[in-house]
């Protein structure tokens, strides 16, 4: 399963096309829209998210609530586009609109115009904007629907915003309801309170703020991914997918960077036989991955998000027209988007896992995948 997206932040719509989707996967409109709504929410978001009411129009690949094996095309409209018709007119005149000439440090603005020869930073920022991630979340819902049929759930929570942190938590200790009911997606209400205060403080100072989130997946069989070739390694595929989310600057699995300071016996997960004879692990420091494959324990991916680049008290830049020092451009912006980024990363993880299941079980038809999964489980006694 793969996807591509198109669309600009203030254009008419975002689009995703998901290819290599098996036939027979049940899909409900509300499943896609629920993920889109979660991406829109979160304490610290800017005014744009109040304008949008994201919903995905399914344009192809689904009939009567099931995928039919053809590419799934999804369209998420931009309500705000009505206010930007002249600025984003495909055939209008550049003379009629004000150019953005003060590239923002930390965004795609400067490398983007150097790369493309654009005279207006807007040519770059419209696509580099994380509004694009709405299309990714819609695409991820297709993967999530397949995974649900295979007994896999993917979820996330926010571990840190600024200096407010829960510390590392195991998936088993994180209640889905506690995260779902919290506007910073934090399972600990006392820490959530401090997170909101950190966001308020950043907003008052004209600043932005980042954090850390965790994506976990439960119900995975061992052996997804591969040790045989670099391109098969699931850790590499997951890392690339999560770091592809804008503003994600670090990713680790399980104890990750912490492992570097420890002895081998403090890091590796001993193999034990559980009551029903299944080979499990006494601990899950590896975050469910060994040798580029799942090992049957919960997948635990932790990611660091940098603070949002657009600042209401802007950093210095150089104006591209005058060549003089200037304040960096100010677009309407989030102060903190860590909870939303976590939802986008869930979608990315779901797409990688769905693809890895197809590698193992076949790509064409859910019924065949189910049969192959049952045979695989029977063979490995899982
Ligand atoms: C969900 C989400 C929302 C974001 N919102 C904003 C925003 O409102 N303003 C902004 O400047 N950057 C925002 N960003 C971050 C930028 O998109 C990102 O920093 C930029 O594309 C440059 O990419 P890089 O940080 O990976 O280098 C957001 C990122 C995500 C994942």
Residue identifier of the C-alpha nearest atom 20 of ligand 1? 107
Task: Tell whether ligand 1 has an atom less than 6 A from the beta carbon of residue 108.
Answer: yes
Please state, for a pLDDT cut of 90, what percent of the chain lies above it: 95
- Residue 372's pLDDT is what? 98
Q: At what angle do helices 338-361 and 29-40 cross, to 10 degrees?
A: 140
294 within 8 A of 221, measured Cβ to Cβ = yes
Task: Tell whether ligand 1 has an atom less than 6 A from the beta carbon of residue 174.
Answer: no
- Residue 130's pLDDT is what? 96
- Residue 52's pLDDT is what? 76
Range of the domain at 7: 2-380
- Backbone phi and psi for residue 296, each to the nearest 5 degrees, phi listed first: 95, -15
How far is ligand 1, taken at its centre, from the CA of residue 333, in Å? 9
Task: Tell whether ligand 1 has an atom less than 6 A from the beta carbon of residue 107.
Answer: yes
- Residue 50's pLDDT is what? 73
Find all residues with CB under 8 Å of 200, minimum gap 6, and list them. Answer: none
How far is ligand 1, taken at its centre, from the CA of residue 358, in Å? 31
Question: How far is residue 314 from each of residues 134, 305, 324, 333, measured CA to CA in Å?
Answer: 26, 19, 15, 12
pLDDT tens by residue, 101-142: 999 999 999 999 999 999 999 999 999 999 999 999 999 999
- Residue 97's pLDDT is what? 95
The answer to whether residue 151 scores a pLDDT higher than 90 is yes
Mean confidence (pLDDT) of the chain = 96
- Residue 46's pLDDT is what? 85
Q: Count CA within 13 A, CB hemisphere, residue 323.
A: 0
Mean pLDDT for 357-372 is 98
Count the domains in the chain: 1
CA dihedral 250, 153, 13, 4 (to 10 degrees): 70
What secondary structure, in 3-state letters, does the chain show? CEEEEECCCCCCEEEEEEECCCECCECCHHHHHHHHHHHHCCCCCCCHHHHCCCCEEECCCEECCEECCCCEEEEEECHHHHHHCCCCCCCCCHHHCCCCCCCCCCCCHHHHHHHHCCCCCHHHHHHHCHHHHHHHHHHHHHHHHHHHHCCCEEEEEEEEECCEECCCCCHHHCCHHHHHCCCCCCCCHHHHHHHHHHHHHHHHCCCCCCEEEEEEEECCCCCCECCCCHHHCHHHHHHHHHHCCCCEEEEEECCHHHHHHCCHHHHCCCEEECCCCCEEECCCCCCCEECCEECCCCEEEEEEECCCCCCCCCCEEECCCCCCEEECCCCCCCCCCHHHHHHHHHHHHHHHHHHHHHHHHCCCEHHHHHHHHHHHHHHHCC
Assign residue 361 the CATH number of its domain: 3.60.150.10
- Residue 53's pLDDT is what? 84
- Residue 47's pLDDT is what? 77
The answer to whether residue 379 scores a pLDDT higher than 90 is yes
pLDDT tens by residue, 205-257: 999 999 999 999 999 999 999 999 999 999 999 999 999 999 999 999 999 99
Task: Tell whether ligand 1 has an atom less than 6 A from the beta carbon of residue 317.
Answer: no
- Residue 101's pLDDT is what? 97
The answer to whether residue 149 scores a pLDDT higher than 80 is yes
Task: Tell whether ligand 1 has an atom less than 6 A from the beta carbon of residue 234.
Answer: no
pLDDT tens by residue, 39-66: 998 898 987 777 778 899 999 999 999 9
Measure the CA–CA gap between 47 and 31, rounded to whole angstroms. 25
Q: Point out which residues pair with 126 in neighbouring strands.
A: none
Residue identifier of the C-alpha nearest atom 31 of ligand 1? 341
Q: Model-level pTM greater than 0.95?
A: yes
Q: Which two tokens stand for residue 12?
A: 């008419």
């Amino acid at each position: 399963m793969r996807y591509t997206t198109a669309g600009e932040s203030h254009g008419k719509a975002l689009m995703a096309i998901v290819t290599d989707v098996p036939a027979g996967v049940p899909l409900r409109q509300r499943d896609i829209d629920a993920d889109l709504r979660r991406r829109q929410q979160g304490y610290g978001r800017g005014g744009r998210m109040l304008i949008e009411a994201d919903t995905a129009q399914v344009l192809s690949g689904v009939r009567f609530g099931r995928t039919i094996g053809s590419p799934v095309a999804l369209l998420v409209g931009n309500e705000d586009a009505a206010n930007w018709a002249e600025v984003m007119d495909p055939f209008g005149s550049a003379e009629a609109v004000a150019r953005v000439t003060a590239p923002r440090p930390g965004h795609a603005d400067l490398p983007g115009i150097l790369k493309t020869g654009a005279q207006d930073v807007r040519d770059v920022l419209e696509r580099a904007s994380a509004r694009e991630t709405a299309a990714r979340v819609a695409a991820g819902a297709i993967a999530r629907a397949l995974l649900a049929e295979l007994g896999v759930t993917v979820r996330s929570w926010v571990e840190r915003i600024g200096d407010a942190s829960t510390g590392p938590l195991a998936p088993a200790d994180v209640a889905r309801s506690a995260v779902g009911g919290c506007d910073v997606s934090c399972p600990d209400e006392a820490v959530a309170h401090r997170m909101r205060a950190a966001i308020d403080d950043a907003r008052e100072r004209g600043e932005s703020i980042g954090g850390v989130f965790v994506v976990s997946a439960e119900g995975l069989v061992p052996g997804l991914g591969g040790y045989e070739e670099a391109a098969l390694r699931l850790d590499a595929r997951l890392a690339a997918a999560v770091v592809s989310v804008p503003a994600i600057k670090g990713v680790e699995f399980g104890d990750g960077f912490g492992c570097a300071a420890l002895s081998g016996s403090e890091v590796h997960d001993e193999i034990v036989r559980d009551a029903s004879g299944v080979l499990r692990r006494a601990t899950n420091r590896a975050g469910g991955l060994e040798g580029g494959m799942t090992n049957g324990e919960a997948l635990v991916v932790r990611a660091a998000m940098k603070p949002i680049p657009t600042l209401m008290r802007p950093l210095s830049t150089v104006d591209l027209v005058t060549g003089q020092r200037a304040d960096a451009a100010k677009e309407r912006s989030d102060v903190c988007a860590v909870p939303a980024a976590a939802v986008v990363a869930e979608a990315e993880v779901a797409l990688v896992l769905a693809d890895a299941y197809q590698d193992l079980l076949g790509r064409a038809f859910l019924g065949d995948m189910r049969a192959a999964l049952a045979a695989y489980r029977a063979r490995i006694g899982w």
